[in-house]
Structure 1
Amino acid sequence: MNDMHKILSSKTQTSQYAHDTGEMPGSAASSSHQAFEQLVSRAVQLPGQVPVGIVWPCEEHALEGAMDAAQRDIIEPVLIGDKSAIVSVAQASGIALDKAVFIDATTPAEAAQKATTLVREGRVKALMKGSLHTDVFMHAIVEAESGLRTNRRISHVFVLAVPGYKDLLFVTDAAINIFPDLDVKRDIVQNAIDLHNGLGLGVPRVAILSAVETVNSKIPGTVDAACLCKMAERGQIQGGVLDGPLAMDNAVSIEAAKIKNIVSPVAGRAQILVAPDLESGNMLAKNMIFMSGADSAGIVLGAAVPVLLTSRANSVQARLASIAIGALYVHHLAGGQG
């Protein structure tokens, strides 16, 4: 959140995290959906299993996706929580736990703290939220002394496969930073660019969104957009092609960009959509998910390891996709060629 409210604000950040990262499964096929599925296929083909800490997977929805990924040999699931409760859920749901490693914890808070310890010890390379509250999970991650903060601001990326759109769309930040200032937006943009490149999707076209495509001092987001583009020109943001401010229509519609006479390598063809604030970003992502039938995955970046922030509304398939993306990014960060 904005300063985390002063805390940040086989192989074939606190209770103000008032958001939901759910999605609607069963979307129509498109080239972007095929790209989405290819990420999962690539993760299956990675050499070795990525050890992922699944924090408090004490409900079926939190356990099934992780164990599905384990059965596909994508991850080594390290289940951190009440072992008896986890085993009981697995037995009731018919979920095999033969590939699981257990780290016992009596409470969600203890599980989250043990998870960060496992990261610092190098025993797990990514974390995934189970059935504990997001504020408990993220508090352990951003805690000043024992957390996983880095010099980079933590931010969330929705990875969306939208019917009718050629490329995967990254929407950021729609889950953590409420009112990001320019410096925070720089990190938000860089995190998303790094993920796009790290997943092998190429140099991304980044649209800094606003309500209009011209700089207007009365709309602060347009000024930030212009500054971010200049920062990219000066090397303060690297690895992507930026343009902004761009309204949503001329960011994703070539025809709309032509009507507005916008000549840009990004306009009409954006791959990363950077929202001016959490509310607009969250509504944008949810609109695509629930109204347009987009498939979605989500990942938190900027911490010491990738963090998979899922919710009870997430389908098993969405959890699997998030895990696959996390595994691919872990492999990239380790110097692999995922």
Structure 2
Amino acid sequence: MSFYPKRVKVLTYECGSGNDPQAADFDRKKGGKVKKNFEDIVSKVKEFETKTVAVANAQDDAVLEAVHEAKKRGIADAVLVGDEEKIRAIAEKLGMDPAGFEVIDEKDPIQACRRAVQLAHDGKVDMYMKGLIDSKDFLRSVLDKEVGLRTGKPLSHVCVFDLPFADQLLFLTDVAFMTYPTLEDKVHIINNTVPVCRACGIEVPKVAVLAAVEVVNPKMPVTVEAAELTRMNDEGKITGCIVDGPLSLDLAIDPEAARHKGATNRKIQGDADILLFPDIHAGNLCYKAIVRIDGMKNGCILTGTKVPVILTSRSDTFETKVNSIALAAVVAEQMKREGTL
């Protein structure tokens, strides 16, 4: 069973083509490589200097297995912060050689977070990852005023799905962090997510601002906000992307539905790159439906921080954790090149 209809066209293209589809076609003719799936992301990671992730409370089987796989595949190195005795015991059980990683012994979970996040804060590592610790305690370290990763911008979460039937990446936001984003919050979410798209090879992503309907209804405030975001994009107040809303989910991801509904005047006609959800309920339900029904490959990070933050749940698969590390690595490289890391 597939949650998403098959795409007819894919408009992801290499950096440098701007808003001009003809320029995008020209880039393709020149041989520019379009990033289409997580294997492409992993290949891209190997083109630059290896990034390092600090893992807070690394004494967790699934996390250690993921960082071991990431190192083995050349995706990233890791500094493991936590109970060294437990880390080494788990590593031995998994057949890992802990000597291949730097291990910082800190048995107190809160202090382990603090020491790990400070490595990222001080620029000694490129990414920060949650291990065996409650999410609320992990996030406290991210937001710590002294050693955390605040940038002055609101934080948001993005989950990237590999759509095998469309040979494309789809970016879902915010499905895990912001509960009821305001209009201003949604501007920040877009601004946080667009650089993630660029890091994955989509220079000018299409942002579908989702609602239950595709017309403005004053009794449905999310449709009014969606129209306002579209207007802000048209006026150059939101840049680096193409914003269209309100859009129903079918118009955002299904070209056939867009044609059937006669949406020929819309900037997005079933070819969205980013799905911007009205609230965490809609986003999280959609995310879990895709994961549980389709089981598609995905990776998730927290953005708006000084370095990419890998915030996975214990229920996430081994593959999702590895993909999240790879995603964070390409974003870290993009931030470095843009001077934000």
Under TM normalisation by the shorter chain, which class is it?
0.7 to 0.9
How far residue 145 of structure 1 moved from its aligned partner, in angstroms, is 4.1
Q: Matches of 2:151 and 2:318 in 1, distance apart?
A: 30
How far residue 163 of structure 1 moved from its aligned partner, in angstroms, is 4.3
How far residue 34 of structure 1 moved from its aligned partner, in angstroms, is 5.9
**Alignment match, 2:255:** 254
Answer whether contact 2:36 2:167 (CA < 8 A) is retained.
Answer: no
What are the equivalent positions in structure 2 for 1:33-72 lying under 5 Å apart? 35-43=37-45, 45-72=46-73
Q: Which amino acid in 2 is paired with 1:64?
A: E
Q: Would you say 1:214 and 2:215 are equivalent positions? A: yes
Q: Which amino acid in 2 is paired with 1:56?
A: N
What are the equivalent positions in structure 2 for 1:180-191 lying under 5 Å apart? 180-191=181-192
Q: More deviation in 174-183 or 65-74?
A: 65-74
How far residue 288 of structure 1 moved from its aligned partner, in angstroms, is 1.3
- How many residue pairs align between the two structures? 306
Q: Which amino acid in 2 is paired with 1:303?
A: T
Answer whether contact 1:199 1:332 (CA < 8 A) is retained.
Answer: no
**Alignment match, 1:313:** 315
- SS, match of residue 249 in structure 1: helix
What are the equivalent positions in structure 2 for 1:111-150 lying under 5 Å apart? 111-150=112-151
- SS, match of residue 89 in structure 1: helix
What are the equivalent positions in structure 2 for 1:124-273 lying under 5 Å apart? 124-262=125-263, 263-273=265-275
Q: Matches of 2:250 and 2:159 in 1, distance apart?
A: 19
Q: More deviation in 159-168 or 209-218?
A: 159-168
Q: Which amino acid in 1 is paired with 2:173?
A: T
How far residue 141 of structure 1 moved from its aligned partner, in angstroms, is 0.6
Q: Matches of 1:163 and 1:76 in 2, distance apart?
A: 28
**CA deviation vs aligned residue, 1:190-234 (integer Å, no higher than 9, x gap):** 111111012222311110000000011111111111111112223
Structure 1 unaligned blocks of 5 or more: 1-29
Q: Which amino acid in 2 is paired with 1:41?
A: S
How far residue 164 of structure 1 moved from its aligned partner, in angstroms, is 2.8
Answer whether contact 1:70 1:99 (CA < 8 A) is retained.
Answer: no
Structure 2 unaligned blocks of 5 or more: 1-6, 13-34
Q: Matches of 1:236 and 1:64 in 2, distance apart?
A: 44
Answer whether contact 1:163 1:292 (CA < 8 A) is retained.
Answer: no
- SS, match of residue 243 in structure 2: strand
Q: Matches of 1:253 and 1:69 in 2, distance apart?
A: 34
Q: Which amino acid in 1 is paired with 2:283?
A: G
Answer whether contact 1:208 1:275 (CA < 8 A) is retained.
Answer: yes
How far residue 235 of structure 1 moved from its aligned partner, in angstroms, is 2.6
Q: Matches of 2:291 and 2:281 in 1, distance apart?
A: 15
Q: More deviation in 80-89 or 314-323?
A: 314-323
Answer whether contact 2:54 2:117 (CA < 8 A) is retained.
Answer: no
**CA deviation vs aligned residue, 1:76-132 (integer Å, no higher than 9, x gap):** 201011111100111112122232111221122111111221122211111011121
**Alignment match, 1:5:** none
**Aligned counterpart in structure 2 of residue 332 of structure 1, from 331, 334, 338:** 334
How far residue 182 of structure 1 moved from its aligned partner, in angstroms, is 0.7
How far residue 248 of structure 1 moved from its aligned partner, in angstroms, is 0.4
**CA deviation vs aligned residue, 1:295-324 (integer Å, no higher than 9, x gap):** 111011001110011111222221111111
Q: Which amino acid in 1 is paired with 2:143?
A: V
Q: More deviation in 301-310 or 47-56?
A: 47-56
Q: Matches of 2:128 and 2:192 in 1, distance apart?
A: 17
Answer whether contact 2:36 2:168 (CA < 8 A) is retained.
Answer: no
Structure 1 length as normaliser, TM-score? Answer: 0.86
How far residue 157 of structure 1 moved from its aligned partner, in angstroms, is 0.4
Structure 2 length as normaliser, TM-score? Answer: 0.85
Runs of 4+ in 1 over 3 A off after TM superposition: 30-34
Q: Matches of 1:97 and 1:258 in 2, distance apart?
A: 56
What are the equivalent positions in structure 2 for 1:10-29 lying under 5 Å apart? none
**Alignment match, 2:292:** 290
Evaluate the alpha carbon distance shift between residue 47 and residue 34 of structure 1 in structure 2; reply closer, same or farther with a 3 A threshold: closer
Q: Which amino acid in 1 is paired with 2:272?
A: A
- SS, match of residue 311 in structure 1: coil
Query: Per chain length, whose mean CA-contact separation is higher, i.e. which structure has more relative contact order (CA < 8 Å, sep 6+)?
Result: 1
**Alignment match, 1:8:** none
Quote the sequence identity (%).
34
**Aligned counterpart in structure 1 of residue 276 of structure 2, from 261, 274, 277:** 274
How far residue 290 of structure 1 moved from its aligned partner, in angstroms, is 1.2
How far residue 144 of structure 1 moved from its aligned partner, in angstroms, is 3.5
How far residue 61 of structure 1 moved from its aligned partner, in angstroms, is 0.4
Q: Matches of 1:322 and 1:78 in 2, distance apart?
A: 16
Q: Which amino acid in 2 is paired with 1:232?
A: N
Q: Matches of 2:118 and 2:129 in 1, distance apart?
A: 14
RMSD: 1.9
